[in-house]
Structure 1
Amino acid sequence: MATPHNSAEKGEIAKTVLMPGDPLRAKFIAENFLTDIKCFNEVRGMLGFTGKYQGKEVSVMGHGMGIPSIGIYTYELFNFYDVDNIIRVGSAGGLKEDVNVMDIVFAMGAHTDSNYGFQFGLPGTFCPTASYDLLEKAVNIAREKNVKFHVGNVLSSDAFYKKCNESELYKNMGALAVEMETVALYMNAAEAKKNALTILTISDHLFKAGELSAKERETGFTDMMEIALKTAIQL
């Protein structure tokens, strides 16, 4: 059943979906890691593909930039397409001093300055977290690959260009990196009783030099992609 944002029909999307923000990164993953690929969505340029990785069906689809965008796409995947697991494979800005460009960050939980969670009508402050099963599998794979990684909380911000920047405050409270989507993914997964994990590659750092180009962000995160795919086929 198609939606205003996704032309796929039931059965065209796998139970596990990798989601980069950039649809061209989705295309890169499909063309370089999957076999027997089929494009299931081109609506609004948000490319989606289903194929096989080491014999198991996996989908990959862009989610766009920001909490509202990923909120729409993941809600539809969880609730309309019977997707059970979503692994975000994105970029982030480093906050802590020991986090460097090209390091991998597993987002255990997500702080936010967004109002996205207000819709759920919860008293107090809801703390969205990753699904432990996905997190444990992915961390073990990263250890086997011998890549540098960090596990901890990230800041999901509503704004890229900020007039009042709270990043240093969150850094002092232990946040590893800042990005723009994880909190919506984790909240949608919690409400739908599904599984979610964000894996990030550090593309720049807010407090020291170093920054990747747009092309490097599109095609250069192969360690993260392989970790996500190897996690996917264990589910």
Structure 2
Amino acid sequence: MSIPTPHISAKSKDEIANTVLMPGDPLRAKYIAENFLDDYKQFTNTRGMLGFTGFYKGKRVSVMGSGMGIPSSMIYFNELYKFYDVETIIRVGSAGSMQENVKLHDIVLATSACSESSINDNLFGNIHFSPTPDFDLLLTAYNKSKELGYITHCGQVHSSDQFYSNIDEKVFKNLQQYDVLCVEMESYGLFTTARKYGKKALAIFTISDSLVSNEADSAENRQNSYTQMMELALEVAPK
């Protein structure tokens, strides 16, 4: 396969920076470009998945939507790492809290991801592979979040295969007991793909709703706010 790929219309590797921030929502990618990047240019809009490259405090960065769920997002992760020589992908997204102390608008840094997804079954047999982010990048993000005064939690996240899932109550209680912090839908695929290609990955979340208190943010807030998470990702993005 050559570039442009079937899913990314950038005609040159140079159109995309070494680091790409990836929200699930392409409109959130557009929001980040418009509000944080200087001299940004759009490099893709294939299938409505928007991507932009610009400068944050003089540092060249790209931002692009990934779609929802592991199968959709892994298409983009693979193509960016393999065909566009991207070195680092930072997922920025919303998540649902699974712990009482992880509150609405808190930030979560994923230290690993668990999932009911079967994507790795043919790779590792009966071994349940647990992908993790790049440690140095994770540590940098944690220290930076503390420096900025953000309420930040570090721990395992659950990358669910289903948005509208009827998770068994016993399973949910076990995930809580074993200190899984929140549920989202893409990090398991991101960390796995990064490990496959020897690249870097990180996942940063803003808590948009709570499975404990049943609080929830509006769709507009999910798309157009959560600026602490965006700023943190841009601050720690490698050049």
TM norm structure 1:
0.97
Contact 1:156 1:181 in 2 (8 A): yes
Distance 1:126 1:87 in 2: 21
Give, in angstroms, the shift of residue 125 of structure 1: 1.3
Partner residue, 1:5 = 7
Partner residue, 1:179 = 184
Distance 2:172 2:67 in 1: 22
Identity %: 51
> Which of 152, 163, 167 is the matching residue for 1:160?
163
Deviations 1:78-114 (A, max 9, x none): 1010000000000000001100000000000001110
Over the aligned positions, Cα root-mean-square deviation in angstroms equals 1.1
Partner residue, 1:108 = 111
Contact 1:167 1:178 in 2 (8 A): no
Give, in angstroms, the shift of residue 119 of structure 1: 4.1
Distance 2:116 2:230 in 1: 28
Q: Which moved more, 1:4-13 or 1:100-109?
A: 4-13
Partner residue, 1:23 = 26
Structure 2 residue runs of 5 or longer lacking an equivalent are none
Deviations 1:196-231 (A, max 9, x none): 000000000001032111110011110000000000
Structure 1 residue runs of 5 or longer lacking an equivalent are none
> Which of 118, 135, 141 is the matching residue for 2:144?
141
Give, in angstroms, the shift of residue 126 of structure 1: 0.9
Give, in angstroms, the shift of residue 123 of structure 1: 4.7
Deviations 1:29-67 (A, max 9, x none): 000000111100101111000001111110000001001
**Residue type matched to 1:15 in 2?**
N
Partner residue, 1:197 = 202
Partner residue, 1:209 = 214
Partner residue, 2:228 = 223
Distance 2:31 2:130 in 1: 33
Contact 1:95 1:168 in 2 (8 A): no
| Aligned residue pair count | 234
Distance 2:78 2:58 in 1: 27
Distance 1:201 1:158 in 2: 19
